[in-house]
Amino acid sequence: MDNPNEIKKRIKSVDDIGQMTRAMQLVSASKMRRSRALHETVYPFFSLCAESMLEILHGDYQIDNPYCNLEQKKEGTWKIAYFVLSGDQGLAGVYNNEVVKTTEQHVQQKILDNTAKGLSTSYTLYVFGKLAKEKLKKNGYNVDPEFSYPISEPTFYQAREVATIIKEKFQSNEYDLVYLIYTKMESAINMKPIILRLVPIDKKSITAVLPENIGDPGVALEEGSEMEYSPNAGTVFNFLIDTYLNAMVYGAMVEAYSSEQTARMTAMDNASKNADEMIKKLELLSNRARQTKITNELTEIINGAEQADNI
């Protein structure tokens, strides 16, 4: 690209893209701040519900509740539901691809594990957002076409609707297992996909979504003391299950939304920096091309003058 005019066109094109990515970065930064504020508001409730359930499960209590007991099958079919939280828009780096990749790997691994045990597997994916839904359908996975919830600006009412769907499907024995797959933001540059077995409740899954210093039995107790439940732990468990499911779904939705906005802000920031670097390189190339053009014109003038003197 030695033509100065072509280089100028290229510089203008890159500059236009840079302005667009900077504008998108500002929008994502604003949404990210709102999402983080929402996350900070929700997380204490979300974590307290998880801790309460974990405290009961760590105790030596006899709890007769289908949400607590995982059936061990020796034959037949495992029926699994996945509620997958992805974004509605792209330009968020590898955010949506990581969610898709994690979902596909878990489904494939479940099928392999069950096949090795002589069991068959049926599953359905209930996908929030458009991008992962379209990609998973394209890749041949069983995606429910009727399930449609946006991930942007999540509300507790939406979470409660989804939790109700989960409860109805689980109580009617439509599914044996229900998983949540979403992205947890550990920092602005570190996000990881989370696979949470929502029901039956799993202690390992709950521990994985809580901070590292939480998750051991007795976190809410003084050393050597014991929690007392009235009238008993099973009744408290039955009372908390609805609140727990609502909180876990809502917490996952808020976490996913916050992660998406942070990923998009980071991606647009990187794109803006790349555009600035490319403009600098193109400007340097433009200066060299202009100098070369001036040098060639001077050479032509000098050669023409020498030829005139020789005539």
Question: Structure pTM?
Answer: 0.80
Per-residue pLDDT of the chain (311 residues; tens, 9 = 90+): 467 777 778 778 877 777 777 887 787 777 778 777 877 787 777 777 778 788 787 777 777 778 887 777 777 889 999 999 988 777 777 888 889 999 999 999 999 998 888 889 999 999 998 888 888 999 999 999 999 888 888 888 998 999 999 999 998 989 999 999 998 877 666 778 889 899 888 877 777 777 665 545 455 545 555 677 777 777 888 888 888 888 889 888 888 888 888 887 877 777 777 777 887 887 787 777 777 777 777 777 777 666 666 65
Query: In the structure encoding, which two tokens stand for residue 199, read together?
Result: 């029901």
> Which DSSP string corresponds to 36-102?
HHHHHHHHHHHHHHHHHHHHHHHS------TTT-----SSSEEEEEEEEE--SS--STTHHHHHHHH
User: What pLDDT score does 207 carry?
Assistant: 78
User: What pLDDT score does 215 carry?
Assistant: 47
User: What pLDDT score does 42 carry?
Assistant: 77
Element (H, E) at 174: none
User: What pLDDT score does 214 carry?
Assistant: 54
* CATH architecture of the domain with range 26-266: 3-Layer(aba) Sandwich (3.40)
Alpha-helical runs (H) found in the chain: 4-58, 95-116, 131-138, 156-171, 203-209, 233-310
SS3 194: strand
- Residue 54 has phi, psi (to 5 degrees) of -60, -40
User: What pLDDT score does 7 carry?
Assistant: 75
Whether residue 50 contacts residue 209, with contact meaning beta carbons closer than 8 Å, is answered with yes
User: What pLDDT score does 309 carry?
Assistant: 62
Whether residue 267 contacts residue 93, with contact meaning beta carbons closer than 8 Å, is answered with yes
The set of residues, in sequence order, having a beta carbon less than 8 Å from that of 141 and lying 6+ positions away, is 103, 104, 107, 125
User: What pLDDT score does 188 carry?
Assistant: 63
Count Cβ atoms below 10 Å from residue 296 Cβ, excluding itself: 10
Q: Give tens-digit pLDDT for 284-297.
A: 877 777 777 777 77
SS3 145: coil
Q: How many residues does the chain have?
A: 311
Rounded CA separation 181/188 (Å): 20
